[in-house]
Structure 1
Amino acid sequence: MALLRQYWKHAQWNYLRKFSASQIPEMPACNHEPCPYKGESYDTVKATTTLHTAPCQVPFYKKPLLIHEGFGQWLWDHEGKRYLDMFAGVATVSVGHSHPKIISAVLQQMNRLGHTTPIYMQPRLQEYVKKLVSKMPGDLSVVYLVNSGSEATELAFLMARLYTGAHEIVSLKNCYHGGSHTAAASTALSTWRYPVNSPSGHIHVTNPDVYHGPWGGSRCRDSPIAPGNRKCQCTGGTCFASDKYFEQIKDVFKFSLPNNGRVAAFIAESIQGVGGTIQFPRSYLSRVYEFIRYYGGVCIADEVQTGFGRTGEYYWGFQGHGVEPDIVTMGKGIGNGFPMGAVVTRPAIANTLKQALHFNTFGGNPIACSVGSAVLDIIEEEQLQENAFHVGTHLLERLGALQLYHPTVIGDVRGKGLMIGVELVCNPETREPLPPSQMIELFEEIKDMGVLVGKGGLHANVLRIKPPLCVTKADADFTVEVINKAIQNLKHRYSYNEESVYCNGV
C-alpha cells in the first residue's frame, strides 16, 4: 500500500510538471456561439473612448480589446476571437458571464418593479438580506446595501468611529480598500495615491509579507505553495514571522498613538488583492484582532475580493484566519458584475447610524437584490465554492511546478482557491521585479494566446489570476501552458538561463 501511494504521488507530480511541446497551446472547447458584432467600428469606439472617458482609466494592452460578448468563463472580442477570462473583471464575475439564472432574475424583476428606495419596504430586499445573513457567523446580522466596495469601506469607517468614539483607522501597508476619498486614505500603495491632502486619522502599519518582508518562510502562510526559496524560522507550534510582524504593530501603538492608545478600527483584506495576492502569516490576524479590541477598536474584514467562496475552503476569507470580524465589507463578486456592495455588522454597531439621517438612493434596489439573491443560489446549487477549492488547488500546484522550470523568472506562487498570484522577477535571490518593458511583453503575449489575466503589486509584476468560479481543470491547464510559453519566449529574447539573471530592459 505504501509503495502504491508513493507511485501515485510520483505519477501525480509528473503530471503537474508535464507541459505541451506545441508552439501554441490548444484552447479548451466551448459550446457557446457568440452573436456577430454589429456595433461601431473599432477605430470609432477607440476614438470616442480616448476623447470622452476619463484619461486615468487606461485600458490594458497596446491594442486595447473591444469585448463584445461573454458566457461562463469566456469572452469574445469584436472580431469573434475567444478568450479565457482568468481575471473576471477584477475578481468580480463570480458565477460566470451572462449566467441564465441571473438574466432571468433581472428580466422578471424589471417587468415587475425596477426601482424603489428604503423609504418603502419591498420583498426582494427582505429575501436577499435574509439569505446573506444566513451565510454570516455569530452576531453579524444587520445589512446595509450600497453600490460598491469603496462605498462599503466609507460606511464601515463611519460606523466604527461613531461606535467607538475614536478616530484612528489602522490599515496595512500595500493594502487597497477603495478609490473614494476616505477609502483611499486607508489605502497604502503609492501607485494609487494622489498628491492631495488625505483625511486625518489613518495609520499604516508594516505589511506582514512573508515573501518580500524581513520575516517569513515555507510554513508561514495558508497556501499549497511555499514562498519562493525562503527558509522558515518557525519552531514548535509558533510562527516566528507572525511574532515579529505583530511586534511591529505593537511598536506603532507605543510611539504613534495618544497615551490612551484608543483606535476606531483595524481593516484588512483576508488576502491582499490589488497589492499582489499577499497572504499573511498564520495566526497574525487573530492576534491583531485581539490587540485592537483591547484598545477599544473594532475589526473590519474587507471581503470585496475574497468573499463568496473564492478562496475555496471557506465562504469568507476571514474564516481561513480563524477570526470573526465586527464589520464585513463586500463588493465585486456579490453581484457578478452588477454594481453592488454591502456592509454587514452587529446590531449595536449598526444602531449608531441613528444619530443622524443616513440614506442610499440605490442601495437595496430591487433589481440589485434579485441579482444578489441569484448569485447566492448559484454558488450553492453549482457547488462553486467546492470548485474553487479543487480547481484552485490544482492550478496552484501546476504553477508551483512551473516555477521549478523557470526559477529565474517566477519568484513566488501564492494564493488560496481561485485567488492566485504569480510574482515575476529578474533575480530570485534579491526578488527584484521583472522590468516593466519585459512584463508588458509577457502580458501581451499571454493575451495573444487567448488568456486574460490581471497585474498587481506595487511594481505591477504579479500576474493576478482570479477567474469566475466556474472554471475547469482544463482551463487551469491551458492557462499554465500559455504562461509557460510566454515565459519561454521571454527568456529566449533576453537570454535568460538558469545560471544567470538579467535585470535589463527597464
Structure 2
Amino acid sequence: MHTILSRTHRPHFLGKAVDCVASVHLPSGAMCQKTAVKHPSSQMPSCDFKPDSYQGMSKERLLEIRKQNCHPMTMKVTYYRRPVFIHQGYMQWLWDVDGKRYLDLFAGVATVSVGHCHPRVNEAAVKQLKHLWHTTAIYIHPQIQEYAEKLVSLLPEPLKVVYLTNSGSEANDLATLMARVHTGNYDIITLRGSYHGGSPLALGLTSNTAYKYPVASGFGCHNTMCPDVFRGVWGGSHCRDSPVQTIRECSCSPGHCQANDRYIEQLKETFDTTVPHRIAAFFGEPIQGVGGAVQYPKNYLKETYKLVREKGGICIADEVQTGFGRTGGHFWGFQGHDVIPDMVTMAKGIANGFPMGAVVTTEEIARSFGKGLHFNTFGGNPFACAIASSVLDTIAEDRLQENCAVVGTYLLTELAKLRDKYEIVGDVRGKGLQIGVEMVTDKASCKPLPPEAMAEIFEDTKDMGVLIGKGGIYGQTFRIKPPMCITKDDVDFFLAVFDQALQNYTERR
C-alpha cells in the first residue's frame, strides 16, 4: 500500500471499439459527422425479447403533466437535453416509447439487481399477488419469517435481527435512532461526499451540498475528511481494493500506506475537536455511491471501526448500493474491508426495484431498542418479502455475484485503457459492477470536467444506446452500476460507445 507524491502521465493505449444502437447501425444523426464509428459493422448485442408496442400518451402530453402536476424536482433530474421516455424493460435492456432499445448500465440508480422483469422474480410476485397483498406484521405470516431467516444466513454473526422498512432513507433513519438509544450517546460521524438519504434526519448524515436545504436537519451529525485516494490530499498507486489503481506515484514501503495514516489522523482530529468524548455511531458506505464510487485505503474502515468503538459508538455499514453481491468478491461491501459492523442498512437491490429496505443488527442492540415501541405498517409486507426472497434465490441460482466479479473486473481493466488513452479521463475505480469514471480537464490538475462537457459525453452515450449515471460532489463522475446480469458482449458494446463519445468530445474541443 502506497502514498502519492505527484501525478504522472502514462502511455496511451487503444481501447476496444464496437458500435451501435438497438440491433441496427449507429444513427448518423446522433453523432458529429466527422467522428465516424471505428468499426461500423459491430452492433448492439442481440435480444430475443419483443417489447409491447406503446399505446399511451404522447411525449408532449407526458412532459406537460410532468411540468404541471409532478413536483418540480422531476424536471431537474430528467438528466438529458432530449429526455428518455421509458416504456418497458427486460433484464439489462430498456425500451422507450418509440421502440428504441437501450443497454441499461445504471439500473434505476443501482437498484435493479437481477434484471428488469426477471422471469423468476415476476413469477414469485404474481404468485404472491394472487394469494395475499398485505397484512400487518402484528400477525404471523410466513413470508416475513422466511425472508428474515434467509437474509441473516448471508450475514456474519452476530448480525441476526432484521427490521424491514420501505426505503434506504428510512433504514438509515431507523439505524440512527437505534444507535442513539443503544449507546446513550448522540453524535454521529459520516464521511464528506457521502449520501445516506433524503429524509430530514438522513440529510444530516449526507455530506453533499446539492441535497441540502437552508433549514435545520440532522442534529448531531458531523462529517470528517473522505479518504479519497484520487482527489484527496493523500493517495497512492496501491491504496484501494480494486483491479485498477490511481495514476498517482507512490513513496511507501511495501505493506504500509502513508495515505491511510494521514486520513486516520484527520479522523482523530475530528474526535479531538468536533464531537464529545462519547459518540453514538459512525456511518460509512463501503464504497461511496452517489459520491462517485469513491474507495478508501484498504485498512481505513478497519482502523476507523476500532477508534469509533473506543469512543463508545457503534459502526454502521450503509450497503444500500454495495450489497447483494454487486462488488463481486463478497456478498456485502464491508466484507472487502475485513470488518464486521454492528448494524447494516440496505435497500435498492434488495427487491430488484420494489420499494423495500432493511436494518440488520445484533440481539444486544435490538434488546436496547425494544424498550420502546417501533412499528412499521408496510415493513415486512408479504408481497415485498416474497419478491425480496426471490431476488436472493435468483442471485444464487444465476451466479450473479460471480458474474459481477468476472464481468466487472473485465470492464474496469478495459476502462483503464480508455483512461490512459484520453487526457480527460482522470480515474477509473470500483469493484465488481460498482464502478466510477472520474472526468477531469487534465490529469495534471485533476480539475473536474465542467458540467456542460459532462453533459455532451452523457448525451452522446445515450444517443448511441447506452444509459449510465452521474455522481460526485461536482457531478464529475460517470457511474456505471448495471443490472448484475450483463455480459462481456454488453461491456464491449458500451466500451465502444463510450470510446466514441469521448472521441467526439475531444474532436469538438
TM-score (structure 2 length as normaliser):
0.92
Asked if residue 458 in structure 1 is aligned to residue 473 in structure 2, the reply is yes
Paired residue for 2:257, among 232, 235, 239? 239
State the identity %. Answer: 53
**Structure 1 counterpart of 2:66:** 49
C-alpha RMSD of the superposition: 1.4
Of 235-244 and 76-85, more deviation after overlay is shown by 235-244
Paired residue for 2:126, among 99, 107, 130? 107
**Structure 1 counterpart of 2:23:** none
Give the deviation of 1:469 after TM superposition: 0.3
**Structure 1 counterpart of 2:453:** 438
Contact 2:194 2:291 in 1 (8 A): yes
- Letter of the structure 1 residue corresponding to residue 162 of structure 2: V
Contact 2:182 2:368 in 1 (8 A): yes
SS, match of residue 27 in structure 1: coil
Of 47-56 and 333-342, more deviation after overlay is shown by 47-56
- Letter of the structure 2 residue corresponding to residue 82 of structure 1: R
Distance 1:234 1:476 in 2: 35
**Structure 2 counterpart of 1:135:** 154
Contact 1:16 1:398 in 2 (8 A): no
Give the deviation of 1:352 after TM superposition: 2.1
Distance 2:191 2:41 in 1: 41
- Letter of the structure 1 residue corresponding to residue 86 of structure 2: I
Asked if residue 279 in structure 1 is aligned to residue 295 in structure 2, the reply is yes
SS, match of residue 140 in structure 2: coil
Contact 2:16 2:495 in 1 (8 A): no
Asked if residue 425 in structure 1 is aligned to residue 440 in structure 2, the reply is yes
Distance 1:24 1:432 in 2: 37
Of 172-181 and 101-110, more deviation after overlay is shown by 101-110
**Structure 1 counterpart of 2:374:** 358
Asked if residue 85 in structure 1 is aligned to residue 104 in structure 2, the reply is yes
SS, match of residue 73 in structure 2: coil
**Structure 1 counterpart of 2:222:** 203
Asked if residue 163 in structure 1 is aligned to residue 179 in structure 2, the reply is no
TM-score (structure 1 length as normaliser):
0.93
Asked if residue 73 in structure 1 is aligned to residue 89 in structure 2, the reply is no
Contact 1:32 1:71 in 2 (8 A): yes
SS, match of residue 293 in structure 1: helix
**Structure 1 counterpart of 2:395:** 379
- Letter of the structure 1 residue corresponding to residue 203 of structure 2: A
- Letter of the structure 1 residue corresponding to residue 503 of structure 2: Q
The alpha-carbon distance between structure 1 residues 24 and 170, as it changes in their structure 2 partners (threshold 3 A), is: farther
Give the deviation of 1:24 after TM superposition: 8.7
Contact 1:216 1:233 in 2 (8 A): no
Q: Deviations over 1:425-471 (max 9, x none)?
A: 11211101111111111110000000000000011111100000000
Paired residue for 1:367, among 359, 371, 383? 383
**Structure 1 counterpart of 2:53:** 36
SS, match of residue 493 in structure 2: helix
Paired residue for 2:365, among 327, 338, 349? 349
**Which structure carries more relative contact order (alpha carbon 8 Å, separation 6+)?**
2
Contact 1:16 1:397 in 2 (8 A): no
- Corresponding pairs, count: 478
- Letter of the structure 1 residue corresponding to residue 402 of structure 2: E
Distance 1:204 1:233 in 2: 29
Contact 1:86 1:468 in 2 (8 A): yes
Unpaired runs of at least 5, structure 1:
1-13, 495-506
Contact 1:265 1:298 in 2 (8 A): yes
**Structure 1 counterpart of 2:498:** 483
**Structure 2 counterpart of 1:501:** none
Contact 1:400 1:413 in 2 (8 A): yes
Distance 2:106 2:218 in 1: 32
Asked if residue 189 in structure 1 is aligned to residue 204 in structure 2, the reply is no
SS, match of residue 462 in structure 2: helix
Give the deviation of 1:23 after TM superposition: 5.4
Distance 1:334 1:47 in 2: 33
- Letter of the structure 2 residue corresponding to residue 411 of structure 1: G
Contact 1:308 1:334 in 2 (8 A): yes
Give the deviation of 1:63 after TM superposition: 1.8
Give the deviation of 1:199 after TM superposition: 3.1
Paired residue for 1:98, among 104, 112, 117? 117
SS, match of residue 250 in structure 2: coil
Give the deviation of 1:138 after TM superposition: 1.1
**Structure 2 counterpart of 1:503:** none
Paired residue for 2:197, among 178, 181, 184? 178
SS, match of residue 94 in structure 1: coil
Asked if residue 301 in structure 1 is aligned to residue 317 in structure 2, the reply is yes
Give the deviation of 1:91 after TM superposition: 0.2
SS, match of residue 432 in structure 1: coil
SS, match of residue 392 in structure 1: helix
Q: Deviations over 1:26-72 (max 9, x none)?
A: 21111111110011111111111111111112312112111000000
Paired residue for 1:396, among 405, 412, 417? 412
SS, match of residue 48 in structure 1: helix
Unpaired runs of at least 5, structure 2:
1-11, 19-37
Asked if residue 212 in structure 1 is aligned to residue 227 in structure 2, the reply is no
Asked if residue 412 in structure 1 is aligned to residue 403 in structure 2, the reply is no
Contact 1:25 1:481 in 2 (8 A): no
**Structure 2 counterpart of 1:470:** 485
Distance 2:231 2:13 in 1: 30
Give the deviation of 1:239 after TM superposition: 1.2
Contact 2:14 2:421 in 1 (8 A): no
**Structure 1 counterpart of 2:26:** none
Give the deviation of 1:232 after TM superposition: 2.1
Contact 2:428 2:438 in 1 (8 A): yes
Give the deviation of 1:389 after TM superposition: 0.3
- Letter of the structure 2 residue corresponding to residue 458 of structure 1: I
Asked if residue 18 in structure 1 is aligned to residue 35 in structure 2, the reply is no
Give the deviation of 1:198 after TM superposition: 2.0
- Letter of the structure 2 residue corresponding to residue 309 of structure 1: G
Distance 1:111 1:79 in 2: 32
Q: Deviations over 1:386-438 (max 9, x none)?
A: 000000000001000111111x1100000000000001111211101111111
Contact 2:165 2:357 in 1 (8 A): yes
**Structure 2 counterpart of 1:321:** 337
Give the deviation of 1:376 after TM superposition: 0.2
Give the deviation of 1:380 after TM superposition: 0.1
Q: Deviations over 1:94-113 (max 9, x none)?
A: 00000111111111111111
Task: Please list every run of at least 4 consecutive aligned residues from structure 1 whose deviation after the TM superposition is greater than 4 angstroms.
Answer: none
- Letter of the structure 1 residue corresponding to residue 432 of structure 2: G
